[in-house]
Every structure is written in structure tokens, then in C-alpha cells.
Amino acid sequence: MAALAYTGGKREINYYFSVRSAKVLALGAVLLLTACHATSRRYRGGDTCEYLLSSGRFLGEKVWQPHSCMMHKYKNSEAKNCLVDKHVVFIGDSRIRQLFYSFIKLINPQVKEEGNKHGNIPFEDKSASIKVDFLWYPEVNGSMRQRIKSWTESSAAKPHIIVAGAATWSIKIHNGSNEALTQYKINITSIAPLLEKLAKTSDVYWVLQDPVYEDMLSESRKMITNEKIDAYNEAAVRILNSSSRNSKAKVKVFSVSKLIAQETIMKSTDGLHLPESSRDTNAMILMNVYCNKIMKPIDGSCCQPQPPLTLIQKLAFCFFTLSIIGYLIISLIHRNNYRKSKSCTDLESGEEKKPAISTPVSTLEMLLHSFCKLGLIMTYFYLCDRANLFMKENKFYTHSSFFIPIVYLLVLGVFYTENTKETKVLNREQTDEWKGWMQLVILIYHISGASTFLPVYMHIRVLVAAYLFQTGYGHFSYFWIKGDFGVYRVCQVLFRLNFLVVVLCIVMDRPYQFYYFVPLVTVWFMVIYATLAIWPQIVQKKANGNCLWHFGLLLKLICLLTCIYFLSYSQGAFEKIFSFWPLSKCFELNGNVYEWWFRWKLDRYVVFHGMLFAFVYLALQKRQMISEGKGDPLFSNRVSNVLLFISVVSFLAYSIWASSCKNKTECNELHPSVSVVQILAFVLIRNIPGYVRSMYSSFFAWFGKISLELFICQYHIWLAADTKGILVLIPGYPMFNVLVSTFIFVCVAHEISQITNDLAQIVVPKDNSTLLKRLLCVAGFFSGLHLFSAMQDQSRH
């Protein structure tokens, strides 16, 4: 009864919710969300600088998340590059002095807070010609006005950044009297036009007063109440906003400090001054406001303007637009022809003629239809991660954000368990399942920011290695059994691997190496092909006739291992190989191939391990030394139990070692040699027991079939800022946002997989002469792309 209910439940879900209906729902959600965000930005404004300065929330205890955008954490070198030849002035009371110290520590962390607290404090970094001054003006009065006025009247260079603010001293000295507040309003009214004038050439910030922790204030400060502070802040905001005549040249009100203080002032040592972590956050916000538009960090979307379209992006836009127009025209023509050929009533006999046989869809129509869908999808990619339409947020890791979703997925995977069609080791259904659950875990790892937790990072490295292990196993098995080294096979694999990435490189203006995993599997596929295709070509059919050929193949594998070992310890030789044109255009990132060498080196042996495993397994299978019947253990009961025990111990031993890692660099050095232990342990645990080998999860297998598209698409339409942050489609509801964005993301990945398969049939035909023509067209396309890229780079410089 339970089994019937289980099967019936699955059928009912599949009946009412098909992939097609899911995609229609996803399209509707995208259109609705796009309209909502566009309307919101039109009527509420979409200035991320304003959001950065005025709103946000804490993720955990110390991580500040601005509303709708991502904040970059500036390093000392980045801060110096941004502020080179700049003069920054902080003018105000002791709270502004605290902000001053936190700011200059971003330039030089060795600075100590010492000197006259109630006097001016200079700071200079001669290496970058940076000057930062603190001017002690604890009250908004005539003295402060005179100092600000001197900047407006002086012919000398004005400060590039001015950060001002004061009020608590006025409350304290005048015992919180109403007369002091009235005088404050008069004084700030007289200062506001001067600040406005300075704001035309400098960045001017007025820092609102933070709340105090009244219970901790000393007796001499008891008159400084939050009610008084609110009154002073209200006056400052009203006067500064009313004095603004031009939105491009107005004093920026730094109000976010209030929100930060509300959460952290309880940790203050005196109830008045903020704890160090809060001051550092304020300084980082200030750095982001000024520097993001200069440095343009990937993970600093606040205050960054939308990047201009490149020449290649404009051409891509024109191409997709023409494809959509062309498809609509052809569709209208076909629809019109269909109506004309429709059956009509025979007026004489009264009988209806049989309709004409519908003509098959032409290759051109299929091509345009695919590019039409792809163009719409690429528009969504661009809106998500290049246009400033949708919001972005920083990642924040907690154990629950990583492990709880994995438990949910495990339950779903078990719910959709079915019998396999075949019971061979690593059969197609099993490898799809393996790819599927690994990809889902990697996705959760990325969105939760779990790379900061070393044990999780090391286990994810094994999952990436397992993908490459499957690459070695799968391609070796194909070439060994089929003996098909034709150009068609190579072109099919290369097209399916690289099509989406090439399109994204064009549309998203990113280098090929940015999507590092695709170059990695592409190169390893070519290495496997070259190893087996180079004379003498040794395949299973030839080896069955003479056992010596097995030793010949092993010799080839040893030569491959030697080359891998040599290149892994000879960075210079590796870089020389991949620095030659045109390889350099594919594998350079930020002007060098170091990143590519690092990525390749991390899993340098695992593809070889996959090939070797395939060779041993297929040899054992040919000699009938293993049993692959349904429900049968892979070996005899005794051998199976021993191997199973060793596999479980090995699997756990690796996990214990990975969980005890203390240094990422040291663990990465060992990873290439030891990752195969857990991979082989998993393969044996999954395949030795016959009942386990005969089952698979159709839920995980479904995701496994689109694992490559999922891995690539996540860069821009699930994560944000090139994987550095999280895409926010529904602000204010983190869980609901993840559910909606995930649903759309999976539907898009599935559709792209279908588009790739459709185009592969058209672009890579089986006929050799036609294929040669297509390859010439592809060569012409990449030549043109290289030419436009060179023109683009020249215009940038």
C-alpha cells in the first residue's frame, strides 16, 4: 500500500507540473519581476549610493549588508590606488575623529590612535601622495563656518573629500537647552550653502549623530539623550536637503551610521563612542562610496554605474534582434501557407478534402528559433548581472545555510528512487545521478559562501575532481570501445562543452578563462583524445587479438602521467605553452596564465586516474571477472565485503583528514594526490552491493543531465557580480527570493541545454564535406571575433 501511494504521488506531481509548464511559469515570473523592478527604479530611484549611505542590515554580528547592492572590502593596496594624489579632510568632534582613524587604517593598518585628542591630526602617505587631515571643530559654529568658507574662497586646491559632523558637544556644553538647538539650526543654515558650493567640485558628506547608550553615559554626559540627538539630526537633514538646488552637486547625508550604531552601541565602552568594528564598517562604507566608481571592483556594485556596451555586445544585440525578427517573419509566412493549404469543403460533393501533409520545419527556421530563444535568455542574463535593474547582496556563511538545504535535497533524492535500466558499473543513469547531486551540493556551496569554511571547501574540491574523474572515465571508455576518432565526434563534444560559454563571453564581456571549468574539461578531453588517437591507435578490438597491446596502452598512460608530472612542477614550461597565440587569448586572465596553471594543477592527476580506472574495469569486465547481474555483488561475497570495508574506511579517513585541515595552501598541495581515494571509495561503495547498483535517483539524474548548464548559468542568474554575490529578485524575503531565483535559474539551464542540443545537430553535421564547410565558417567567426576584440581593447586603452 505504501509503495502504491509513493508511486501514485510521484505520478500526480509529474502529471500536474511538467517541465514545459514550469518554463511558462518561470517566463511569467521574469516578466513580472522585470516590470516591478523597472517601475520601482523609475518612481523610487535606483541610486545605489543613496542606499549605501542610508540603509542596510547586519548579516550576523559584524557583516554589514547595504540595501540592494554589494559592498567591496578594500585592501590597503586598493585604497592607496584609489586615493592616490587625493586630499581628504575630516572635520568635527571626537566621533568624527574615530571615523578618521578607521579610514586611515584602511590605507596604513599600522597607524596608532595617539596625539592630541582635542586638536588637529595630520596623516600623509608619501608613497601614494595621500593626505588625510582631521580638524578639531566639535561644534557647528562660526569657527567651523570660517574654515569651510576658506576652502570656497581659496584659489588653492580644495580637498577631494570632506567628511563633517558635530552636535553632541553643543548638547553637552549647553546642557541640552532648546536655545542651543535653535543656534545649531542657525549655524548649519549658514554653513549649508558653503558645503553645497564645495560639493560642486568635491565629495562632501555630513555625518548624522549616532544614538547613545544612555545607561552607560557618565554624569557629565547625561544630558546627551537620544531624543536630543534625533532633534539635531532632523534639523540637519531638513536644512541640508532644502539647500540643495542641483541633485548632482549636493551634500551627501551619511545616515547609515545611525543604523549601525543602533545595533552596536550597547558594546560601547562609554555609551557615546562606537565600538571599533562599527567604526571600521563606517569607514569601509565611505571608501565604497568614493572608490567604487574609480576602482570598479566586481563585488562592489554600490555606487557603480552600469558599464557601457562594448562593440562586441552591440553586435551580439543586433544579431539576436535580427534572429528574432527573422523567426517571426518565417513563422508568419508558414502560418499563412498553412491556412491556404487547409482543407476546404467540396461544394459539389459536400465532402471534406484531406489536409495537405504539413511540411517539416526547415533547418533555417530551427536555427532562428533557437537563436530567438537564446537571445531572450541572454537578455535576462544581461539584466541580472550587467544592468543595474535587479539587486545584489553579499554572501554570508552559516552552517545552517549550507547543511539544511543539503538535507532537504537528500530527502527529495530518496523520494525519487527508481530501478536502473542496466546494472553495469557507472552506467549512464548512475553517472547522471552522481553529476546531479554533486552539482546541487556545489550550487549550495556557492550561494551560501561556504568556501570560508575549510572542511567544506576540501570536500567540494573532491566533487570537482570527481567531475574530471568522470571526464577521464567516460571519454576513455568511448574511444576504447568504439574506436571512433573521427572529426565529427570531436566537434560534437567541443560544441556541447563550449557553446554556452562562448556566447556568455560575448554577451557578458568576460574572458574564456573566467568560466574556468569549461576550459579545464575541454583541454582534458583533447588530452585524452590525443593520447589514444596518436599512433599507434590502441582500442579494445585490437587489444583483444593480442594482449601485448594492453602493455602498449599502459605505456601511453605512463607517458601521459610523466608529462603531467613535469608540467605541474614546471610553471615556466606550462606558461610558455599556453602563452602562445592563439592559446593565450583563451587562457589568459588579467594578462597572465597563472590562474589557469593553478586551476589545472589542483586536479592534475584525477583525469589520469579516471582513464586508468576505466581501463582496469573494462579489462576485468571483458574477462568476466566481475558480476554485474541485477542484485548480484560485484565480486564474490568475501572479496566484496573486504573491498566494501576498505572503501568505507578510506572514505571516512579522507573526510577526517579534510575536516582537520588548518591551512588551505598545504591541503591544496596534497589534494591532487589523495582526492582519488575518496572518489574510488565512493565508486566501490555505490557499485559493489548489487541492490545499490540496481537503484538510482531520477531526481538527481534529471539535474545531472543539465549539470554543465547549471554550473555555468549560476555565474550570472543565480549568483551575482560574477559569483561574488547573490541575485536579489525579491528584496526583504531572503528564503522566498532564493526559491524564486532558483526556480527560474533551473528552467533557464534546462532550456539552454535543449537549445545546445538542437544547435549541435545543425552546426555539427555528420557529413564530412558539410562539416568541413561549417568548420571554416567557425574559423571565420572566431577570426572576426578576435579582430573586434582587438579593436575593442584598443579603444579602451
273 is catalytic: yes
Max intra-chain CA distance, the chain: 111
758 is catalytic: no
* Residue 129, all three cell numbers: 601622495
362 is catalytic: no
121-125 β-sheet, strand order: 121-125, 130-136, 87-92, 161-165, 203-207, 252-254
536: cis peptide before it, omega within 30°?
yes
Contact of 447 with 482, CB cutoff 8 Å: no
Question: Where is 738: in which H helix or E strand?
Answer: helix 734-763
Q: How far is CA 289 from the centre of its chain?
A: 23
Instruction: Convert 640-656 into a string of H (helix), E (strand) and C (coil).
Output: HHHHHHHHHHHHHHHHH
Comparing CA positions, the residue from 290, 288, 289, 264 lying closest to residue 277 is: 264
Contact of 106 with 74, CB cutoff 8 Å: yes
Catalytic residue among 67, 273, 446, 475, which? 273
Comparing CA positions, the residue from 617, 588, 565 lying closest to residue 505 is: 588
β 725-728/719-720 pair status: antiparallel
Q: How far is CA 41 from the centre of its chain?
A: 24
CA separation for the pair 302, 67 (Å, rounded):
9
403 SS3 class: helix
Catalytic residue among 129, 218, 270, 636, which? 270
CA separation for the pair 337, 362 (Å, rounded):
14
For residue 252, list its beta bridge partners. 205
β 719-720/417-419 pair status: unpaired
CA separation for the pair 469, 14 (Å, rounded):
33
Sign of the four-CA dihedral 742, 744, 745, 749: positive
- Classify residue 610 as exposed, middle or buried by CB count within 10 Å of its CB (0-12, 13-18, 19+): buried
Contact of 253 with 54, CB cutoff 8 Å: yes
Active-site residue numbers? Answer: 94, 270, 273
